[in-house]
């Protein structure tokens, strides 16, 4: 979506650039189908959450870290009222032990039609 690294290591920390739910190497967004005018035909926020978590896990592993080494997560949601409770429920499933620090904010828009993006810091 732009000129930036997926991850960057500084000392013993891995910084993951803003990561959305797109399937790697494609423009496909799990849980989302739009008509030719950009109107929603299908929307499944849960599918986007699971996909963004999968993408973050892959990025961390490729950078020499892992899911359990996350120390800080910033969550960007485009609709806090609609999606916050669902996100919290799924988040609790993935972080049953030793959850990272977390900040969740609502934003007006994210690149393309995604509903969620994560910014992560982890140790190596």
Tell me the pLDDT tens digit for each residue of 13-59: 999 999 999 998 888 999 999 999 888 899 999 999 999 999 999 99
**In percent, how much of the chain has pLDDT > 90?**
85
Contact indicator for 123, 12 with CB cutoff of 8 Å: yes
pLDDT at 17: 96
**pTM as predicted:** 0.93
**Domains of the chain by residue range:** 7-123
Contact indicator for 118, 21 with CB cutoff of 8 Å: no
The CATH number corresponding to 7-123 among 3.30.70.20, 3.30.1330.40, 2.60.120.1360, 3.30.380.10 equals: 3.30.1330.40
114, pLDDT greater than 80? yes
Neighbours of 75 (CB within 10 A): 22
Enter the DSSP assignment of 78: S
pLDDT band at 75 (very low <50, low <70, confident <90, very high): very high
pLDDT at 80: 97
Neighbours of 57 (CB within 10 A): 17
Mean pLDDT of the chain: 94
Instruction: State the Cα–Cα distance between residues 105 and 7, nearest whole angstrom.
Output: 22
Which pair of structure tokens corresponds to residue 108?
């007006």
Contact indicator for 83, 115 with CB cutoff of 8 Å: yes
């Amino acid at each position: 979506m732009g000129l930036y690294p997926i991850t960057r290591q500084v000392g013993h920390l891995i910084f993951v650039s803003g990561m959305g739910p797109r399937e790697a190497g494609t423009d496909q967004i799990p849980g989302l189908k739009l008509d030719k005018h950009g109107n929603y035909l299908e929307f499944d926020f849960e599918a986007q959450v699971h996909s963004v978590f999968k993408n973050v896990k892959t990025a961390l592993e490729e950078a020499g870290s892992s899911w359990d080494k996350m120390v800080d997560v910033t969550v960007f949601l485009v609709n806090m009222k609609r999606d916050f409770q669902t996100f919290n429920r799924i988040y609790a499933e993935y972080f049953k032990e030793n959850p990272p620090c977390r900040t969740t904010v609502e934003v007006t828009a994210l690149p393309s039609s995604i509903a969620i993006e994560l910014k992560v810091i982890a140790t190596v």
